[in-house]
Amino acid sequence: MTAIELSLFAHRIRAVCEEMGAVLQRAAFSPNIRDRLDFSCAVFDASGYLSAQAAHIPVHLGSMAYAMRGIVSDRDWAPGDMLVLNDPFLGGTHLPDVTMIAPLFDRGRLIAFVANRAHHADIGAESPGSMPLSSSLDEEGLVIAPTRLLRDDRIDEAVFNRLVAPLRDATISRGDFSAQISANRVGLQRLQALIDAQGADGFLQALTDYNEYARRLAASALAAIPDGDYRFTDHLDDDGQGNRDLAIACRIRARQGAMQVDFTGSAGQTAGNVNCPISVTAAATLYVFRCLMPADLPGCAGAFHDIDISAPAGSLLNAQRPAAVAAGNVETSQRIVDAVLGALAEALPERIPAASHGGMNNLAMGWHEGERPWDYYETMGGGLGGGPVRTGASAVQAHMTNTRNTPVEVLERHFPVRVRRYEIRRGTGGGGRHPGGDGLLRELEFLGPARYTLLTERRRRAPWGLAGGGDGAMGDNRLNGQALPGKCQGRVGAGDRLVVASPGGGGWGPDDHACPDGGVQ
């Protein structure tokens, strides 16, 4: 293909994913999908290799890219099929993230797959918001093994009814599942139009050229990493079950642009829910290397050809069934990013930023008693780490998530809470030549009884500064002014107030204006 033809193909196949996302957002019922945009869409080839993705959520996309080959192989696919799953140990992330996959056939020939993944605030856990302080997978909700939901493009109502039976609000749940089905249907239509325009063989040749271009571009970027062995160890605060300071040890072996990333030495699988399936570990690792590559790099499998990832089975980063994993997807993934960045800082000191706020500051809440049960889940941004050429941004999501906040008006309209404060935590970014960004503070007043769960990090260990920069401020959780642990759950009544304050980012470089005695010139 010529360069122009390749560019047109890249934009067209990526547009398929973007339109899928637009349909999913507009058709969804829950604020979590419709307003926070907690979903991702992608296209894969017939073998399950990533072909294209929209700019959605890295932890969704990276884990799908890593696991799809295993999901789609050894299955008898037929036109009109659609598969649903959320099992973390069969290609998922955590139970609230439900994935739907549909094959595309052209004249009887399997050509590609479309897929989307969306976070359901209720996936059947006993704890509202389905992000419990769990110690086993069974406590986290409904486990969906890969199951055909559609046959011949018709919903299997018996399967659909089994899916929604354990969920509290059938209208919301059916609406969100239906939105995911619609997104895949539109993806199939648009992808078929692209294939019709080029012919199946032309489309497949374009995919080959696209992946080869991505491989060459990525190889050039990775070759800029000097050969060597680079190590860094970071730690999770705790697992919510009494185990603290859980190590995430990263060793990167760089040889002529080939990267071997090994997490041997990390903590073992733990009692709490900060464990990761290997697909999440891969997603976090691939994300970091993607950040070192050109912005216009194609989002396909070829981009990651030269990166090998390993973690010992039974460890925190390659947990085995029935480990609890609800927070591994949202918190541990962020610390994996920190560890990989820390290792790369040794190799590329003028390119790597300080640690960002280091979590997703998860709040799940709701009430399952009475006539109107409700479930709600949100994540919250914080400060980005300062970098070699820039100050860290304030009050934004970082790294493995890319969701919006829930607008105050939407939150107060749909749920019995009032937002008393929502503001930037001024002065919480670490100092330095390029200071870290500031965190956020959100204070909620409950208007009735509710139960809540907090799964948060960087409450005991601050986001680290780099190259002489200062650490960012740690986060803080409070109920009616009393300090709460980083991971906890409880009950509240009308008038109670919950504050979630997220960390700032670390600073980069020494403060050029600092006096030797610690003052400021």
Q: What is the pLDDT of residues 49-58, one digit of tens each?
A: 999 888 777 7
Model pTM score:
0.94
| Confidence label for 519 from pLDDT (cuts 50, 70 and 90) | very low
Residue with tokens 């979903």: 39
**Is a pLDDT exceeding 50 seen at residue 520?**
no
**Is a pLDDT exceeding 70 seen at residue 508?**
yes
78 within a domain of the structure (yes/no): yes
Residue of 496, 483, 376 lying closest to 445 (CA atoms): 496
**Is a pLDDT exceeding 80 seen at residue 512?**
no
pLDDT digits (tens, 9 = 90+) for 215-270: 999 999 999 999 999 999 999 999 999 999 999 999 999 999 999 999 999 999 99
What backbone torsions phi and psi does residue 170 show, to the nearest 5 degrees? -65, -35
Mean of the pLDDT values across residues 126-134? Answer: 94
- Per-residue model confidence (pLDDT) at position 262: 98
Distance CA 317, CA 304 (A): 20
**Is a pLDDT exceeding 50 seen at residue 147?**
yes
What is the CA angle 142-330-71, rounded to 5?
Answer: 55
Which of 50-59, 60-69, 367-376, 383-392 reaches the highest mean pLDDT? 383-392
**Is a pLDDT exceeding 80 seen at residue 38?**
yes
Counting the structural domains of the chain, the total is: 2
Q: What percent of the chain has pLDDT over 70?
A: 98
Per DSSP, 388 falls in state T
Per DSSP, 396 falls in state B
- Per-residue model confidence (pLDDT) at position 404: 84
Q: Domain boundary residue among 166, 201, 216?
A: 216
Per DSSP, 206 falls in state H
Do 72 and 85 form a contact (C-beta atoms < 8 A)? no
Provide the mean pLDDT of the chain. Answer: 94
- Per-residue model confidence (pLDDT) at position 263: 98
Distance CA 15, CA 37 (A): 17
286: CB partners within 8 A, 6+ apart: 62, 65, 66, 304, 307, 309
478 within a domain of the structure (yes/no): yes
Do 164 and 78 form a contact (C-beta atoms < 8 A)? no
For 21-63, the DSSP string reads: HHHHHHH--SHHHHTT--EEEEEEETTS-EEEE-S--HHHHHH
| Confidence label for 521 from pLDDT (cuts 50, 70 and 90) | very low
- Per-residue model confidence (pLDDT) at position 511: 85
422 within a domain of the structure (yes/no): yes
Do 237 and 459 form a contact (C-beta atoms < 8 A)? yes
Q: Domain boundary residue among 188, 216, 244?
A: 216
Distance CA 88, CA 142 (A): 11
Grouping H, G, I as helix, E, B as strand and the rest as coil, residue 268 is strand
238 within a domain of the structure (yes/no): no
Host H or E run for residue 84: strand 82-85
What backbone torsions phi and psi does residue 308 show, to the nearest 5 degrees? -110, 135
Hey, what are 303's tokens? 């981009």
Hey, what are 102's tokens? 């549909």
**Is a pLDDT exceeding 90 seen at residue 518?**
no
Do 131 and 110 form a contact (C-beta atoms < 8 A)? no
Peptide bond into 322 cis (omega under 30): yes
420 within a domain of the structure (yes/no): yes
Structural domain of 141: 3-216
pLDDT digits (tens, 9 = 90+) for 305-328: 999 999 999 999 999 999 999 999
Q: What percent of the chain has pLDDT over 90?
A: 84
285 within a domain of the structure (yes/no): no
9 within a domain of the structure (yes/no): yes
pLDDT digits (tens, 9 = 90+) for 78-94: 999 999 999 999 988 89
298 within a domain of the structure (yes/no): no
pLDDT digits (tens, 9 = 90+) for 330-341: 999 999 999 999
Distance CA 428, CA 458 (A): 13
Identify the residue with better confidence: 395 or 300. 395
Q: Domain boundary residue among 193, 216, 239?
A: 216
pLDDT digits (tens, 9 = 90+) for 462-502: 999 999 999 999 999 999 999 999 999 999 999 999 999 99
Mean of the pLDDT values across residues 430-441? Answer: 98
